[in-house]
Every structure is written in C-alpha cells, then in structure tokens.
Amino acid sequence: MDLPPVGLGTMGIEDEAVVRTAIDCGYRHLDTAQIYDNESTVGAGIAAADTDRADLTVATKLWIDALEATAVRPATEASLDRLGLDAVDLLYVHRPRGDYDPETTLPAVEAVREAGLTAHVGLSNFDPDQLVVAREFLDKIAAHQVEFHPLFWRESLLTDAQKHDYPLVAYAPLAGGRVFEEPTILNIAAQHETTPAAVSIAWVTSYENVVTIPKASSQSHLEANLAAADLELTDAEIARIEAIEREEELFPE
C-alpha cells in the first residue's frame, strides 16, 4: 500500500469534528478499530468532510473476540455499518490473541477481501514468527501496525517490512508523551528550533517503509504533526535517537 507519511490515529477521539478537521487539514489515512468504540464517530467525520471518499484510506481492526472464522464477516459488516461505508481500504487483525487461529482466521479475512468489503488485509502487533505463519494463509500482508517510537521499537519488525516491502504503520510515535521528557529528543528539537513531537515523528518517518499515525485533537497539533514529516534529521541525529535506551512497550499483549 502507498500510505502517506503521517495519518491520523483515532484511539480516544470522540468528536467527529476532530476527524473532519483532520481531513480538511490534509489527512488522507484514518485509522480506527472496533475496540476504540469510535467507528461511528470516524464515519460521521468522513461524511461531514468535503473530501471525496475515494481520496481517503480508511482502516479498522477486528478485535480478538471477532477472529473466529464464522465471526469475521459479521464483525466486518458491523464495522462498516458503524462507519457508514460500503468497504474499508485496510482491515487489520488487531492482535493474534483470543479467537485467532491463523489456519481459520486468515482465510476468513481473505474471503472478506475477496467479497469486496476491504481492499487490503493487514496485521497488527504480530511478532516475526507469527508473520511467517501468516504468510502461509494470506495473499500478502498489506501493512503491519506496531508500536514504534524512540523509546520502543523492534528492529526485527522493521527489517521484515523492508524485506517484504510493505508499510510498517507506527502507532504511539510520541510514546504517550514520554518523548517530551527525553533529553536526547529535547536537545535535537532545540537545535532545529522545533518541538519534541516533530523530532519524534520525523525520526519515525525517516525509515524506509515506515509511516505513522499520531493522535491529535486540535487543529494546530494536527497541522504540526503533518508538517513534522518534512523535518530532515541528520544521520548523526538519527543514530543518537536510535541509541536511546529502550523501555518496555506501552501496549504489551
């Protein structure tokens, strides 16, 4: 998939006006999920915006209680009903947990794609071994969404995305706000006369095959996150951020 460097993560967004504002600001990749309980909000924002639906990439995710083979299509149709859409562009398996069984779940998701309810099938929060197994049952992995920020990232997942040429969609690029207190990030931001948020997003998107979906609610933050992808960090700055001691992930299994 050809995804823009910065999209909108919507976890916690409960106001359709935020989604509409994001689209008006230039966001073209919108990411939601069943577990976020806001697909209706995202759908209403899409409907209210002036941008053509065809110009948007809309993604949602099947939660772990919707991964039994017979549940996949009804759950997908329920998501589409809440979104007010005939199809999504990208449908993820949110986590390989709960009712997930690669031998039955993934063929069922492929069937949903073949039926035209989604254009592409993605995975989220898989480890490298689980990706290998998933490839046995999917036509292709269209995208893989994972936690990826200066304080936590897995080089093995980045390598897999680059090797197999699909986008790694980085969520929580600001580490839940923790990057605002990281000395290396603060120092680089000061040198560029910009914000820690901009540096973090620029670092994430500096990698080949990586895009990101930060959440923001105000128009100023939405615009700043979009612009951050244009910030160019030096190789030395990227290496300094890579050298930050990694902490535990914010969203473990």
pLDDT, tens digit only, all 253 positions of the chain = 999 999 999 999 999 999 999 999 999 999 999 999 999 999 999 999 999 999 999 999 999 999 999 999 999 999 999 999 999 999 999 999 999 999 999 999 999 999 999 999 999 999 999 999 999 999 999 999 999 999 999 999 999 999 999 999 999 999 999 999 999 999 999 999 999 999 999 999 999 999 999 999 999 999 999 999 999 999 999 999 999 998 878 888 7
CATH code: domain of residue 127: 3.20.20.100
Q: Report d(CA 165, CA 22) in Å as an integer.
A: 28
Q: Is residue 152 part of a domain?
A: yes
Q: Say if residue 14 is exposed, middle or buried (CB neighbours under 10 Å; 0-12, 13-18, 19+).
A: exposed
Q: Is residue 249 part of a domain?
A: no
Q: Is residue 88 part of a domain?
A: yes
Q: Other C-beta atoms within 10 Å of 181: how many?
A: 10
Q: Is residue 185 part of a domain?
A: no
Q: How many domains does the chain have?
A: 1
Q: Report d(CA 134, CA 145) in Å as an integer.
A: 14
Q: Report d(CA 162, CA 166) in Å as an integer.
A: 7
- What is the set of active-site residues? 36
Counting other chains too, the contacts that 135-141 makes at CB distance below 8 Å and 24 or more residues apart are 136/102, 137/102, 137/103, 137/106, 137/107, 137/110, 138/106, 138/109, 138/110, 139/110, 139/113, 140/166, 141/166
Q: Is residue 198 part of a domain?
A: no
Classify each residue of 78-103 as buried b or exposed e, where b means 16 or more C-beta atoms within 10 Å of its C-beta. ebbebbebebbbbbbbbbbeebbebe
Residue 68 vs residues 5, 72, 130, 225: alpha-carbon distances, Å = 33, 6, 17, 37
Q: Is residue 235 part of a domain?
A: no
Q: Report d(CA 132, CA 160) in Å as an integer.
A: 10
Residue span of the structural domain in which 166 resides: 8-176+209-217
Q: Is residue 65 part of a domain?
A: yes
Q: Report the chain's terminal Cα–Cα distance, integer Å.
A: 26
Nearest 10 degrees: Cα torsion 111, 115, 118, 124: -10
